[in-house]
Amino acid sequence: MSEPRIVKFEVFRYSPEGAETGEGKWQTYEVPCPDDYVVLDALNHIKDYIDPTLSHRWSCRMGVCGSCGMMVNGTPNLTCKSFVRDLEHPIRVGPLANFPVVRDLVVELESFMDKLKSVKPWIIRKVEKDVKYGEYLQTPDELDSYRQFSMCINCCLCYAACPVMINEPDFIGPAAIALGFRYNQDSRDEGEAERYAVLAGEHGVWNCSYANECSEVCPKHVDPAAAVNREKLVSALQWLHILPKKGA
């Protein structure tokens, strides 16, 4: 096995206690990186062996939880899937763009969670049938109509890549729209009319300029840009009273 090579990392540092002195700074670390290291491994090495004051989020290390999303060389990425060997050096790691920074590489996600909740991401039924009648059945084709949009892991990379979010922070954003669209497409759901005001409203799909950046960075190939455009078509037809809303 080859010896680990020393790689320079420029890591964003920000402390709310010292906020009055500026917007943060970039700190350089030299990390011994084996060939199989991902950026998250390097950050954990910094935290464990070089600078215990560094703050960053991570959990599963398997590209499933979505918590380790950061800006890697200016691009939103899951640091657990970003191999050091594939990146230009020095490697610059910063917090996700378009989010308030809490500390170092940790961002505030409260507004993101509020946007997700605003589209009512659950099955809505006018009348729930008694459990004795069994579950709501679904054909494979009905599942396929929304399956792609159910793969989101809430990593927020699409929000960090979205150019609309820079100037319009109230835009509900690609992940929330894809999630709302996912439930609207679900044959078991009757809540489309309840989601219409949010998805087609002032901060909904019509704010999107279709830069497609959200789909480019999505690690699960959800393609939120496709969900946005399909929801635009649906809402336009509903506005023209050509297509009824489920649950109306």
Q: Which residue has the tokens 């230009």?
A: 88
Length of the chain measured in residues: 248
Rounded to whole angstroms, how far apart are CA atoms 160 and 93?
14
Question: Helix, strand, or coil here: 173?
Answer: helix
Q: DSSP state, 48?
A: I
Q: What is the pLDDT of residue 239?
A: 81
On the 0-12 / 13-18 / 19+ scale of CB atoms within 10 A, 122 is exposed
Average pLDDT of the segment spanning 139-151:
96
Q: Tell me: pLDDT of 163 over 70.
A: yes
- Check if the beta carbon of residue 146 is closer than 8 Å to that of residue 182: yes
Q: Mean pLDDT across the stretch 32-44?
A: 97
pLDDT at 191 over 80: yes
- Per-residue CA distances from 14 to 11, 40, 80 (Å): 10, 18, 22
Residue 148's pLDDT band, with cuts at 50, 70 and 90, is very high
**pLDDT at residue 245, rounded to an integer:** 78
Q: Between residues 41 and 242, which one has the greater pLDDT?
A: 41
Does residue 157 carry a pLDDT above 70?
yes
Quick: pLDDT tens for 101-126: 999 999 999 999 999 999 999 999 99
Q: Is 73 left (phi over 0), alpha (psi -120 to 50) or beta?
A: left
pLDDT digits (tens, 9 = 90+) for 45-72: 999 999 999 999 999 999 999 999 999 9
3 state DSSP class of 24: coil
What pLDDT score was predicted for residue 129? 87
**pLDDT number for residue 22:** 55
Structural domains for the chain? 5-107 (3.10.20.30), 110-239 (1.10.1060.10)
16: pLDDT confidence band, cut at 50, 70 and 90? confident
> SS3 breakdown of the chain: % helix, strand, coil, rounded to 5?
40, 15, 45
Residue 17 has pLDDT above 90, yes or no: no
